Structure 1
Amino acid sequence: MGYLGPEGTFTELATIRFFAGRPYRGIPYPDIASALHAVQEGEIMAAVVPAENSLEGTVSITLDVLVHEVDLFIVGEIVLPVVHHLLGKHKNLSAYTRVLSHPHALAQCRRFLQQYLPQALREPVISTAEAARLVGASDQPWAAIGTELAAARYGLDTVAREIQDHAHNATRFIVCSRDTAGPTGNDKTSIAFSLPVDRPGELYHALGEFATRGINLTKIESRPAKKGMGLYIFFIDCEGHHTYPVVSQALSALQARASFYKLLGSYPRHRED
């Protein structure tokens, strides 16, 4: 099972929780594209990657790779609360000269850093886990923002807990595989499509294929199609599995209208604990 590494990332934590009680061997990959391509090439059975954050929005590279580079299906999802901790080797916050973390984590902890570590330089790195690794390997008075899992991995103390500015911060992770997932009765379907012409009502009528059949859309957004300015791919999540007759009818009708269509997967919806 692959995941966005290195060890100690939120993605590893999501992987641990998603497969809780089931045997698996986790393999970290340096970036999202590498993890997804490893599934495509048969190196691993599936990969867990971030798809969306409640504060920062969609993880665009995940959607781009799924649409343009691989033929995989989303087979599961998990929503993980994002809780940031200050990790280091010193109890005294005034001792730290630098704070390392992913740019999003630094931004999401801005108030805490301004109030308690105004003297510390903020240094962005590729991930929260990489920040913890660098701090653990250094003899400098540096701190990292990351997970307790990363603290345990790299020999750091949790100096301050839950330092994020917003309590309602969560990331949605998806599990991608070469095979589709069967229906469970609590499913959602993700698709990507483009329309052949840009004219008034075109998107309205396309989405109407779901409304007229009583299918709820839970998400819609657009991304550049990478074929010219003003050309877009639309991404939709809807309730139900693509094999359900009413959902299948809506998808077939949409596909008939589209110049590009791709089923990204039907999979069990995340359940709150």
Structure 2
Amino acid sequence: MKDLSEIRCDIDAIDRQIVSLYEQRMGLAAEVAEYKIANHKNVYDKAREDDKLKTLAGLVPDEFLKQGVVELFEQIMSTSRKKQYQMLAEAGQIEPLGFRAIDALDAKDKRIVYQGVEGAYAQMAMQQFFGKECPGEAVATWRDAMEAIQSGCVDYAVLPIENSSAGIVAENYDLLMEYDVTIVGEQIIKIDHALLGVKGAKIEDITVVYSHPQALMQCADYLDDHAKMERKALKNTALAAQKVKEDGLKNQAAIAGIHNAGIYDLDVLDQAIQDNKENETRFIIVAKDKTYLQSADKVSLCFALPDDEAGALYRIMSHFIFNGINLTRIESRPSKGGSWGYQFFIDFEGNLRQEAVVNALRGLKEETSSFRILGNYQSFAKEN
């Protein structure tokens, strides 16, 4: 048996050969890129890579080694593609992304919609983003807001996309897949839920509580402690306050922002009742035109993976790694029209004018079955 140090010396010698051969292979990959640049060919050739992997795996008899060879060369070919994407970008062969840079979002004389009624948290987010004097218009549903944007009836819509306690607003992720709109901004506001009742009502009178499903979730511990309070969901927290006012019943209460007490002439029975006292909701501002701020520093996109490809998500993620891009979020939602298919939503730091971002997006577009840039915008402006 060889001494361990002797074995390690042999390994070191082989590793030096591998590095040298790897360097030679990457040089040939650069020659391939030059050919593709001259002939305007795509970098990714799935059929060629699949055949290559099958051939290489056939060179070893052991099943364990076969899998190792496939994994090794998948990584080598992935790195080779990254090099080729960079060379195509340097040669000016960059496919336009379809977005136009602007200096600022102008709310003057623009129509802006939010879902709910006066006092909705979406209205608060709108006024935080566009200014306190922004009137805005209320619509009944989030789908109505998307329809208004896509039809060109309004300029901007404000929609919640995620809560720090209850998680994503799944319906709005689905609407982003369905409608061809662009995220142009975001606003995060602190959510303080209050229990509101008609004048003269007491907490012990309340047997029915109305609110949006997410607000009910965010106050679950409080409601569990008041077991006789039946939970009933409505489409909006402010709509719940409006209903309690209109019904005028002492046994009814709404969970909504405390500012709704003044709007609907209600009493504050309790306040800050949410489970997480640092409860926040992230809202997105969407528009029809594909524009982005010159100062934008966050990109959102969605994509679907090719069917039945092992390691596909890993390979897609490698585009961010090799281009030095920092991912800040990844979510998945079931795709419509198919069983067990998913759309992935990703947020990452960057601007559409940056070379690294362009290189990563080009790779993603070639190697996914569907791909869409949802927007490039300024990272959140938090409520003071």
Match of 1:75 in 2: 184
CA 1:138–1:91 in structure 2 vs 1: closer, same or farther (change >3 Å)? closer
The 5-angstrom pairing of residues 7-46 of structure 1 reads 7-20=118-131, 24-46=134-156
Q: Which moved more, 1:168-177 or 1:241-250?
A: 241-250
| One-letter amino acid of the counterpart of residue 183, structure 2 | I
Matched, 1:239 2:349: yes
* TM-score for both structures, normalised by structure 2: 0.67
- Once the two structures are superposed, residues 62-84 of structure 1 have per-residue CA deviations (whole angstroms, 9 ceiling, x without a partner) of 1222212x211000001111110
Match of 1:203 in 2: 313
Gaps of 5+ in 1: none
**Bigger relative CO (Cα 8 Å, ≥ 6 apart):** 1
CA 1:232–1:113 in structure 2 vs 1: closer, same or farther (change >3 Å)? closer
Q: Which moved more, 1:179-188 or 1:234-243?
A: 179-188
Deviation at 1:182, TM superposition (A): 3.1
- Whole-angstrom distance in 2 between the partners of 1:98 and 1:30: 23
Deviation at 1:38, TM superposition (A): 0.0
Deviation at 1:91, TM superposition (A): 5.3
- Whole-angstrom distance in 1 between the partners of 2:147 and 2:353: 26
The 5-angstrom pairing of residues 80-119 of structure 1 reads 80-88=189-197, 89-90=199-200, 92-115=202-225, 117-119=226-228
CA 1:108–1:63 in structure 2 vs 1: closer, same or farther (change >3 Å)? closer
Contact kept, 8 Å, 1:184 with 1:268, in 2: the verdict is no
Q: 3-state SS of the aligned residue for 1:112?
A: helix
- Once the two structures are superposed, residues 181-230 of structure 1 have per-residue CA deviations (whole angstroms, 9 ceiling, x without a partner) of 43444510011111223322211111111110100011112111112112
- Whole-angstrom distance in 1 between the partners of 2:177 and 2:202: 48
Match of 2:244 in 1: 135
Q: Which moved more, 1:237-246 or 1:121-130?
A: 121-130
- Whole-angstrom distance in 1 between the partners of 2:224 and 2:180: 45
CA 1:57–1:113 in structure 2 vs 1: closer, same or farther (change >3 Å)? closer
- Once the two structures are superposed, residues 107-159 of structure 1 have per-residue CA deviations (whole angstroms, 9 ceiling, x without a partner) of 322332343x4433332222211110111112311211101232222111222
Deviation at 1:30, TM superposition (A): 0.8
Gaps of 5+ in 2: 1-111
Deviation at 1:57, TM superposition (A): 1.7
Identify which of 156, 162, 182 aligns with 2:272. 162
- Whole-angstrom distance in 1 between the partners of 2:232 and 2:175: 28
| One-letter amino acid of the counterpart of residue 168, structure 2 | T
* Larger-Rg structure: 2
Q: Which moved more, 1:3-12 or 1:32-41?
A: 3-12
RMSD: 1.7
Contact kept, 8 Å, 1:183 with 1:243, in 2: the verdict is no
Q: Which moved more, 1:53-62 or 1:119-128?
A: 119-128
| One-letter amino acid of the counterpart of residue 257, structure 1 | E
- Whole-angstrom distance in 1 between the partners of 2:223 and 2:266: 19
Q: Which moved more, 1:147-156 or 1:245-254?
A: 147-156
Bigger fraction of residues in helix:
2
| One-letter amino acid of the counterpart of residue 353, structure 2 | T
Contact kept, 8 Å, 2:192 with 2:257, in 1: the verdict is yes
Q: 3-state SS of the aligned residue for 1:182?
A: strand
* TM-score for both structures, normalised by structure 1: 0.92
- Whole-angstrom distance in 1 between the partners of 2:215 and 2:292: 36
CA 1:261–1:104 in structure 2 vs 1: closer, same or farther (change >3 Å)? same
Identify which of 325, 338, 352 aligns with 1:215. 325
Deviation at 1:178, TM superposition (A): 1.2
Matched, 1:124 2:223: no
Contact kept, 8 Å, 1:131 with 1:145, in 2: the verdict is yes
Match of 2:167 in 1: 57
- Whole-angstrom distance in 2 between the partners of 1:223 and 1:123: 26
